[in-house]
Chain A
Amino acid sequence: MATMGNERDFLILTNNPLVPACMEGKGKYTIRFCPEKSYREILVMARDMVYAGHTLYTHPLSGSVKPNETPYKSVIVSVEPHGFDSDQGEIMANAIAVFDKFTPIGWNLNERILADFQLIDYTLLAGAINFDAAAGISNQSTRRE
């Protein structure tokens, strides 16, 4: 069983392709890459796991990039359930409430801007768990154009 707080207990929920590209196989964590899921759906998945007793390791609203601007979100929860924490349940519920109050923008983001949003989400995630973000980019498995 993975101990709470140990990297082996990190389950990264993400819809950001840069996360598996830079981090897959580079640590003891597990990545659940869900490219079909939206920002909100990643939050809902994390919320449901926290409600089911998984520990929330990173804040779901990381970054000052607003939820109606970027399509990408990565959240770390525990692989193992360690028991329900009501404060963490509240953080997840509040995050979804915050997402829902932003006015949808509906802009057409070009590839370059999408790449920047991926970069921000990835570097905030990497920073949270002391993963060397710059090295991850240099060694990524599928390099961007």
Chain B
Amino acid sequence: MKLELGFTQINDIQFSKECKVDNGTLYVDPEAVKAFMYEDDDVKAWVKDFTFDVAKPGESVRITPVKDVIEPRVKVEGPGGVFPGVISKVDTVGSGKTHVLRGMAVVTAGKIVGFQEGIIDMSGPGADYTPFSKLNNFVVVAEPADGYQDNKHEYEHAVRIAGLRAATFIGELARDLTPDETQVFETYGIKEGIEKFPDLPRVAYVHMLQSQGLLHDTYVYGVDAKRTLTTILNPTETMDGAIISGNCVSACDKNTTYHHENNPVVKSLFEAHGKTLNYVCNIITNENVYLADKQRSSDWTAKLCRLLDLDGVIVSQEGFGNPDTDLIMNTKKIELQGVKTTIITDEYAGQDGKSQSLADADPLADAVVTGGNANEVIVLPKMDKVIGMLDYVDVIAGGHAGSLRPDGTIEAELQVITGATNEMGFNRLSAR
């Protein structure tokens, strides 16, 4: 399967009556975006209103609580459309041509539950810990309709869909652009790949998806990953939004939709593809709460690794605690099939970094890349402007009573910062 991505760099976002991309600037009418979001009945039912803002790199701006981050894309050639099974029809994506607005994102923010986390600082020390401080962010703040307290499932769904619709609206503006840069990604059928690269090791990416329940979900072609069996994706499918985030908890190590679209493991494996390895496919598997599900899913992961005659896999997880068990079950069983593993995770090693990092371990999991210690304490200075609301900072993960100080500074653990210790390795923290 072959996909061409055409990138147009966005260096600025301006509100305007006319919607277009011109000379690196996105001009967008928030009222038009709002109207497009409200075409969805669930959004209409559960979101009372939206407010819009723009946050640019270097500004004294704090966005919180962040729900999702999405990169606008549009399918210009080939089957299907972006976010298949959710926004577009369910056709298989990942081939043809897709245009990307790079350097920007749609950020959805607003309260869903009372302890919700997720901070993006656009400047200061906090900005160094989140990749999204480097983007021009079109921020959509949702205000819930009355009665949402007893209907959190519906409200989370509505905000998730609203964000994807905003990104789709903006992505559509890239349809007729001539990209600044194009890149081509291609993987092959099993036999074809072996014939093409007979001497290269066969490597796949075992991509674990958060799937525990409300505020902890991921969707694949619109299907709740909790209800899926371990299966195979072409890596390019993820670039067209085949996987989207419904995960609102654990800001530092949740995989936003932006992470799925720009998965760094996929990117790195493609860079090595045909040179030092043969990138075979992605294997997606879930992280359920029910132990028999964990056993089934990890058995199937190992079974597929063997069936595909792989030599090695990279395994990434999402979240904390429960997923550590899936991570170790997957790794152990894959190794026992004679397939080498390297895992990517983050750590909860205590504020002093001295505690055991994961909730589970095994001697076979002997190649580990860390995304950093989520318990590390950081002080975030006051920002001139807050987009969203600060009243939850005291109770968001990693914050603690009094963490929002009277002078506006925040003392908290890295857990609160969106993407700080990402377990796909989409950031700069690590250890040697």
Enumerate chain A interface residues (CB-CB to B < 8 A).
5, 56-59, 61-67, 69-70, 88, 90-91, 94-95, 97-98, 101-103, 105-110, 112-113, 115-117, 119-120, 123-129, 133-134, 137, 144
* B: number of interface residues (CB 8 Å): 48
Chain B residue contacts of A102, Cβ below 8 A = 348, 350
Q: Please determine whether A107 and B394 come into contact, CB atoms closer than 8 angstroms.
A: yes
Chain A residue contacts of B367, Cβ below 8 A = none
Is B285 interfacial (CB-CB < 8 Å)? no
Shortest Cβ gap from B345 to chain A (Å): 13
Can you give 7 A-B contacts (C-beta < 8 A)? A58-B289, A69-B395, A95-B359, A107-B401, A123-B213, A124-B216, A127-B226
Is B291 interfacial (CB-CB < 8 Å)? yes
Measured in the bound complex, the distance between the Cα atoms of B319 and A56 in whole Å is 21
Contact A56:B291 (CB < 8 A) given known A64-B250, A107-B395, A107-B401:
yes
Q: Please determine whether A58 and B114 come into contact, CB atoms closer than 8 angstroms.
A: no
Is B262 interfacial (CB-CB < 8 Å)? no
Shortest Cβ gap from A28 to chain B (Å): 16
Majority SS at the chain B contact face: loop
Chain A residue contacts of B401, Cβ below 8 A = 105-108
Shortest Cβ gap from B353 to chain A (Å): 11
Shortest Cβ gap from B308 to chain A (Å): 27
Interface-centre pick from A62, A97, A113, A137 (highest chain B CB count, 10 A): A62
C-beta contact mask, B290-315 vs A, less than 8 Å → 1, else 0?
11111000000000000000000000
Contact A120:B215 (CB < 8 A) given known A59-B294, A66-B320, A69-B115:
yes
Instruction: From the candidates A56, A61, A116, A134, name the one contacting B115 in the complex (CB within 8 A).
Output: A116
Is B196 interfacial (CB-CB < 8 Å)? no
Q: Please determine whether B360 and A63 come into contact, CB atoms closer than 8 angstroms.
A: no
Is B14 interfacial (CB-CB < 8 Å)? no
Chain A residue contacts of B320, Cβ below 8 A = 61, 64, 66
Chain A residue contacts of B214, Cβ below 8 A = 119-120, 123-124, 127, 133
